[in-house]
Amino acid sequence: MPELPEVEAVCRVARRALAGRRIVSAHIRRRRICLPQTPRQVAAALAGKRCLAVERLGKNILIHLEGATLTVHLRMTGNLYALAHPGLRPRTTSAHLVLDDGRALVFDDPRGLGILRLGRPPGPVGPDPLSREFTPQRFAEMARAGRSPIKVWLMDQRRVAGLGNIYAAEALHRAGIDPRRLASTLRVSRLNRLHAAIVAILAVAVESASRAYRRPGGFADGEWFTAAVYGRDGLPCRRCRRLIRRIPQGGRSTYFCPGCQR
């Protein structure tokens, strides 16, 4: 599943494609992507609207139009990119928007699990880790009130919006924190170190993903971001040479080094 850096890269592509453009028409091939709305409702609401801004909220891409907001969630295999002509769209397209310059913004989704709906995403979300609201002070205050293991807490979108499994594990390793530690037991100094690790790792990962998404439809797994622990169970830690472990947490796999994460 695309994580925050990949979604940010796709958001940048969509922002460039839609800047100042008007949507001539919208075409939705898979009905389920806009449920409980209908393709006709969504298409009618988008036709003729000019794009005002494109932003990312966690793993959601919000396309702000005149009088409407369109939310896109990529889910497992979704991607957004522009093509010179609508007729060039692939067979795996779930929806496409015809723009006033003749191009098309394509929502390509081989597995068809993505979401494209009118309105903002439901439910409360925490601060985005790449936003100004994600301060060390706010992060530490929220974490100190947490009642779950720090890795599970980080994955709760109500606490930190968009932080996924890969980068939560990588940030905890960089900060030297055992993912099983209860969030509430961590000192502020260690939480500050974790905050800095999250911001630094995501900055590198976003640039990595952005380079991989420069080519239309080019979706590269991992790009040039090098994982320190994720997916490396049984291999030696590059820092202390202890073997990386994998444990289940919150229905996901957690990777960590028992030597340098305490």
Q: Is 59 a catalytic residue?
A: yes
Catalytic pick among 2, 39, 121, 179: 2
Q: Is 2 a catalytic residue?
A: yes
Secondary structure (3-state) at 99 = strand
Question: Would you put residue 232 in left (φ > 0), alpha (ψ -120 to 50) or beta?
Answer: alpha
Residue 5 corresponds to which tokens in the numbers above? Answer: 């850096």
Catalytic pick among 49, 59, 190, 193: 59
Beta strand pairing status for 245-249 and 68-73?
Answer: unpaired
Q: Is 3 a catalytic residue?
A: yes
Residue 116 corresponds to which tokens in the numbers above? Answer: 């494209």
Catalytic pick among 3, 6, 8, 170: 3
Residues annotated as catalytic (active site), given as ranges:
2-3, 59, 252
